[in-house]
Chain A
Amino acid sequence: MTHTLTVLVENTPGVLARVAGLFSRRGFNIDSLAVGRSEDPGISRMTIVVEGDDRILEQVTKQLHKLIDVIKITDVTRDEFVDRELVMIKVNTESSTRAEIMQLVDIFRARIVDVGPKSLTIEVTGYESKINAFENSLRPFGIMEMVRTGKVAMLRGFKSTTINDNQKKED
């Protein structure tokens, strides 16, 4: 089963290496990892997608917690959540195929961000299956290059994965 973890970490140099290194040396697989500044500039929020049963997930969580720089881990998959990924795809374009591709862009609510004489660069966001479907539909035209940010996720509703949220629970 796939789990999406939201991990709050101190924004220190080397924190990404600590987290990534832990996964590889303990034999855990990362499907995707996205990291950036959170609402607090001193704290980064990582979204880590891992594959594994409950036992593996428990070990991943406990081992992550042992890192001094890791402040909080939430498995958002245990709750209602939304996740998104941003993808850019550069696709081969002939004058004969341009219209068809643009139609696909419309259908998938993607956006064209750059136009070249023989290529289109398209940006699409969404959940994984939508992005996969879009990728598959572009494949026949010839995908020259693709880049994915990795998943980011957030709990639905008023709930959040901030540190304060944790304190409320402890109170």
Chain B
Amino acid sequence: MRLSGAEILIKSLEAEKVDTIFGYPGGQVLPIYDALYDADIRHILCRHEQGAAHAADGYARATGRPGVCLATSGPGATNLVTGIANAYMDSVPLVAITGQVPQNLLGRDSFQEADITGITLPITKHSYLVRDLSELAGVVKEAFYIATTGRPGPVLIDIPKDVSASVDEYEAPGEINLPGYKPVLEADPRQVMEAAKAIAESERPVIYAGGGVVISGAHEELLRLAELLAAPVATTLMGLGGFPGDHPLSLGMLGMHGTKYANFAVCECDLLIAVGARFDDRVTGKLETFAPGAKVIHIDIDPAEIGKNVQVDIPIVGDVKRVLKQLMDIIQPRLGEAWREKIQTWKKEYPVNFCDTGKLKPQAVIRDIYRLTGGNARITTDVGQHQMWTAQYYTFTKPRSFISSGGLGTMGFGMPAAIGVQVGCPDDTVFNIAGDGSIQMNIQELCTAVNYELPINVAIMDNGYLGMVRQWQELFYKRRYSQTELLNPDFVKLAEAYGAEGIRVTKRSEVAPALEQAIRSSKPVMLDFMVEREENVMPMVPPGESLNNMLG
């Protein structure tokens, strides 16, 4: 069968069961868009390539299937860069396809030429520049395999226009042969045995669960392990939803804006079981005093994460789900009454709370979103105060329900991610909890939501500041609010201009009716909550301090 490169690409994507692509057309992807015209794959036209990359990312995080984004060469490709870096930092399976100038123009600073494989080298798991049509089908197959296996991550495929336009005999790709890529899934039984021994000897274990639990689908195993050991579970931002937040053993989030009881528990534990987490500086605070008296077991699929930031006593390389199963086969249940009581005391003494003055507080709004969605919504966030309040006040109980930019901390992630989530999970209620700063970084995607009738809800915690930066300026820079006060557009009018619904909320009493109206609406809704302006995220571990040294 003779097919063009673009047709082979589509055929290869179909073979990978791709049902949706988020993209933006342009000169060097014209042949691909021409082939898409007849294809069964749904294409979501975003309004900016960055939006396409984040939407594909959100789609992947919500569904567990790889997200696919498509952009043209040069500026199209460079606009994907933040989205690719974001997916890389949070280990999201993303396949980014870019057009490239024809090979006879490559390397000549041609119109809309950018060395995108070079630019994305440090932020992709792997990348390809397809030099010959005969490679294309195999490259696509490999790219999906690499993106979705082991520690997932973004893979970029750069396709020069002459490759996508040329026609050749199509041959189905053969078996994947990657001698340099063999992820270890099953743990070394000796290491598992060591871990079991350490667990049996411990009196005050804490499980520190990260995004790896969600990615690996190990939430059930984690729950069983925690109950078996009566061990409390602190999750990272990425781990939220990997363990039910309403479970008695849940400590909520640990780290800079974690709960006091999570941070106290980590400081006083004698065994820290890190599961699919990477000891990020926002989690550990001052490294020297992180879990000072604890033996550390580190379970991760990526060997390079083990020993990167902290010394580990028992490293276990493998897929979290499998390793937890292996571990549970050989451990004994324990009671740990004293430790459990101590944790309960901390939980009672230092609850997550805010000073409820009856005014419109962002924390109260988020609690209401939790209440009115029954905790069943998929929540995306941008980055900043509202993100931390969401982590603290929306109790996540299910994996893949909290979708947020963790590692890279990308403002502008939330709305396009919500679009991807809604496309992947059409029956779910989707909320993007945003800040008035963040929302403006990809606000053009509201048009995408309207265009495809995606009933996402955007809840802006509008305080007229870049709130998190303002908070740091208040605490560490003598309240010198340098460039953090924002003049904002009228978000309600803006929403209406895009063809969405806009609702402004200024009083506590208006919150629930507004949320109910938004949830009922079949249109995208933008809710502008005019919240208390100088509210701070508390508790807080000042940067570089120990976890037990918390403000608030």
Q: Chain A interface (Cβ within 8 Å of chain B)?
A: 9-10, 13-14, 17-18, 21-22, 25, 55, 58-59, 62-63, 65-72, 163
Closest CB in chain B relative to A53 CB, distance in Å: 12
Per DSSP, are chain A's interface residues mostly helix, strand or loop, or mixed?
A: helix
Check B180 against A59 for contact (C-beta < 8 Å): no
- Whether a CB of chain A sits under 8 angstroms from the CB of B367 is no
Check B302 against A68 for contact (C-beta < 8 Å): no
For the complex, what is the distance from the CA of A65 to the CA of B179, rounded to whole Å? 11
Pick the residue among A10, A25, A68, A69 that contacts B122 (CB under 8 A).
A25
What residues of chain B lie closer than 8 Å to A63, measured between beta carbons?
304
Check B308 against A59 for contact (C-beta < 8 Å): yes
What residues of chain A lie closer than 8 Å to B181, measured between beta carbons?
68
For the complex, what is the distance from the CA of A69 to the CA of B117, rounded to whole Å? 15
Pick the residue among A13, A55, A62, A68 that contacts B180 (CB under 8 A).
A68
- Whether a CB of chain A sits under 8 angstroms from the CB of B47 is no
For the complex, what is the distance from the CA of A68 to the CA of B180, rounded to whole Å? 5
Check A68 against B304 for contact (C-beta < 8 Å): no
What residues of chain B lie closer than 8 Å to A13, measured between beta carbons?
129, 131
What residues of chain B lie closer than 8 Å to A72, measured between beta carbons?
180
What residues of chain B lie closer than 8 Å to A14, measured between beta carbons?
117-118, 121, 127, 129
The 8 sampled A-B contact pairs (Cβ below 8 Å) are A9-B180, A21-B122, A58-B307, A65-B304, A68-B180, A69-B180, A71-B179, A71-B180
What residues of chain B lie closer than 8 Å to A163, measured between beta carbons?
179
Check B129 against A62 for contact (C-beta < 8 Å): no
For the complex, what is the distance from the CA of A69 to the CA of B307, rounded to whole Å? 23
Closest to A25 in B: B122
Closest CB in chain A relative to B217 CB, distance in Å: 22
For the complex, what is the distance from the CA of A13 to the CA of B126, rounded to whole Å? 13
For the complex, what is the distance from the CA of A90 to the CA of B212, rounded to whole Å? 57
For the complex, what is the distance from the CA of A87 to the CA of B33, rounded to whole Å? 54
Known: A14-B129, A58-B307, A59-B304. A67 touches B118 (CB 8 A): no
The 5 A-B residue pairs with the shortest CB-CB distance in the complex, in nearest-first order: A62-B304, A71-B180, A68-B126, A71-B179, A68-B181
Check A68 against B118 for contact (C-beta < 8 Å): no
With A59-B307, A59-B308 given, name 13 new contacts (CB 8 A). A9-B180, A10-B180, A13-B129, A14-B127, A17-B118, A22-B122, A25-B122, A55-B307, A59-B304, A62-B303, A68-B146, A69-B180, A71-B180
Closest CB in chain A relative to B129 CB, distance in Å: 7
Question: Interface centre among A13, A18, A68, by most B CB within 10 Å?
Answer: A68
Closest CB in chain A relative to B151 CB, distance in Å: 8
For the complex, what is the distance from the CA of A159 to the CA of B488, rounded to whole Å? 69
Q: Mark B108-138, 1 if CB is under 8 A from A, else 0.
A: 0000000001100110011101010000000
Known: A55-B307, A59-B308, A62-B304. A67 touches B180 (CB 8 A): yes
For the complex, what is the distance from the CA of A13 to the CA of B308, rounded to whole Å? 29
Closest CB in chain B relative to A98 CB, distance in Å: 46
Closest to B317 in A: A62
- Whether a CB of chain A sits under 8 angstroms from the CB of B1 is no
Closest to A55 in B: B307
For the complex, what is the distance from the CA of A112 to the CA of B73, rounded to whole Å? 51
For the complex, what is the distance from the CA of A67 to the CA of B117, rounded to whole Å? 14
What residues of chain A lie closer than 8 Å to B338, measured between beta carbons?
none
Closest to B308 in A: A59
Closest to B126 in A: A68
Closest CB in chain A relative to B177 CB, distance in Å: 10
Closest CB in chain A relative to B174 CB, distance in Å: 15
What residues of chain A lie closer than 8 Å to B304, measured between beta carbons?
59, 62-63, 65-66
Within 8 A of A (CB), among B273-316: 302-304, 306-308
Check A21 against B121 for contact (C-beta < 8 Å): yes
Question: Interface centre among B179, B181, B306, B308, by most A CB within 10 Å?
Answer: B179
Closest CB in chain A relative to B117 CB, distance in Å: 7
Closest CB in chain B relative to A26 CB, distance in Å: 9
What residues of chain A lie closer than 8 Å to B180, measured between beta carbons?
9-10, 65, 67-72
- Whether a CB of chain A sits under 8 angstroms from the CB of B178 is yes
Check A65 against B303 for contact (C-beta < 8 Å): yes
Closest CB in chain B relative to A43 CB, distance in Å: 9
What residues of chain A lie closer than 8 Å to B118, measured between beta carbons?
14, 17
Q: Mark B417-455, 1 if CB is under 8 A from A, else 0.
A: 000000000000000000000000000000000000000
